Amino acid sequence: MTSRVAAAVNGSSVKSALLTLGGIGGGVSLSYLLVELLKADPELSKAALQTVMQWGPLFVLFAAVLYLNDRRFGQMIHNQNESQKATLEVQRDHAAAQQKLAESVHRLAERDYERQRETELVVAHMARDAKRNRELLEEIHNRLNQSEKAHGHHAG
Amino acid sequence: MDITQAENIRQLRATILRTVYDNHRQQQSRLRLVLLEGMLERLFFEVARNDLIAVLQDLKERGYLNFREDRDRYTRKVNIGEIQITPKGRDLVEKTETDEAVDFD
């Protein structure tokens, strides 16, 4: 018996019971308020009745829509929650993917920076070597000139 | 070690010191092993990573360089970063001091 009761009282039945109770409570409160209002002002009741009579078939449609909304309201909330959960999961996956992308771009940029620094270092080294070679060549050139001049003096 | 290799190592020491010196003079961020390795490779120095680490350690022992040395927790490979030249190393590059082990010519 206890197990049967426990089985009956699962999550969904509790939720639907609460929704039904809430709906009934709301309806009773609204009706009570309406009756009190009509009692306080009989003219208002006439006006309300006339208004409803003027609606005609629209009133029936309105009542049917209210009834259907009441029935489907809980389901709608449930569906909306599920949809929100799914959206959140998608957003979380999207954020994770974006983070991975940012990390990859950062790594690429770092690699580019390293390549650039390597090139700068190599160029600096080669420029220094080129300068030293030029100085060496100038020195050799000067020595040759001096030697030629000395040779020319002797020859002259 | 044959004479050619010894000569290469002396040149390699000089190149490393000069590169770190230039980097310091230009006030660039301190060099890392991977950068130095790439640069030397482009300058046609055929030197394996472990040999390069050994040369750097040698320069540190001589008091010409300082660097931070880490060992990867999983691969146990040595990584070197924040390489900087010491005043003694700068003296050597500026030829205020000389060392037979470092060939600047």
How many domains is chain A partitioned into structurally?
A: 2
Structure tokens at A86: 């799914």
* pLDDT recorded at residue A4: 54
Q: Check whether residue A81 and residue A14 sit in a common domain.
A: no
Q: Check whether residue A78 and residue A154 sit in a common domain.
A: yes
**In the predicted model, what is the mean pLDDT of residues B37-66?**
91
Q: Check whether residue A32 and residue A77 sit in a common domain.
A: no
Chain B residues near residue A118 by CB distance under 8 angstroms: 35, 38-39, 42
Q: State which amino acid sits at residue A74.
A: G
* pLDDT recorded at residue A80: 83
Q: Do B42 and A128 touch (CB under 8 A)?
A: no
Tally C-beta pairs within 8 A across A and B: 29
Q: Check whether residue A85 and residue A36 sit in a common domain.
A: no
CA atoms within 13 A on the CB side of A58: 6
Q: Give A117→chain B minimum CA distance, Å.
A: 7
**What domains can you pick out in chain B, each with its CATH number?**
3-93 (1.10.10.10)
* pLDDT recorded at residue A151: 78
Matching residue, tokens 């490779």: B41
Structure tokens at A153: 């003096």
Q: Tell me the mean pLDDT per 10 residues along chain A, length 156.
A: 52 72 80 75 75 75 76 76 90 93 90 86 88 92 89 64
**In the predicted model, what is the mean pLDDT of residues B50-71?**
93
Q: Which of A69, A58, A88 is nearest to A23 (CA)?
A: A69
* Span B3-40, pLDDT tens digits: 567 788 899 999 999 999 998 988 888 999 988 999 89
Q: How many CB atoms within 10 Å of residue A51?
A: 10
Dihedral sign, Cα of residue A71, residue A72, residue A77, residue A82:
positive
Q: Which of B52, B44, B53, B56 is nearest to B89 (CA)?
A: B56
Q: Check whether residue A92 and residue A44 sit in a common domain.
A: no
Q: Do A114 and B19 touch (CB under 8 A)?
A: no
Cα(A144)–Cα(A85) distance, integer angstroms: 88
Matching residue, tokens 């599920």: A82
Chain B residues near residue A121 by CB distance under 8 angstroms: 19, 22-23, 35, 39
**What confidence category does residue B71 fall into, taking pLDDT thresholds of 50, 70 and 90?**
confident
Q: Do B22 and A117 touch (CB under 8 A)?
A: no
Q: Check whether residue A96 and residue A26 sit in a common domain.
A: no
Closest residue, chain B, to A126 (C-alpha): B43
Closest residue, chain A, to B39 (C-alpha): A118
The rounded Cα A97 to chain-centroid distance in angstroms is 11
φ, ψ for residue B83, nearest 5 deg: -75, 130
Q: Check whether residue A152 and residue A97 sit in a common domain.
A: yes
Contact, B18 vs A125, CB < 8 A?
yes
Q: Check whether residue A94 and residue A39 sit in a common domain.
A: no
Q: Cα A30–A35–A40 angle (5° rounding)?
A: 125
Q: Do B35 and A128 touch (CB under 8 A)?
A: no
Q: Check whether residue A45 and residue A81 sit in a common domain.
A: no
Straight-line distance from the first to the last Cα atom of chain A, in angstroms, rounded to the nearest whole number: 137
Q: Check whether residue A80 and residue A144 sit in a common domain.
A: yes
Prediction pTM value: 0.55
Q: Cα A55–A56–A57 angle (5° rounding)?
A: 115
Structure tokens at A119: 């090139």
Structure tokens at B105: 């010519």
Closest residue, chain A, to B29 (C-alpha): A117
Q: Check whether residue A30 and residue A92 sit in a common domain.
A: no
Q: Check whether residue A150 and residue A134 sit in a common domain.
A: yes
Q: Which domain holds residue A94?
A: 57-156
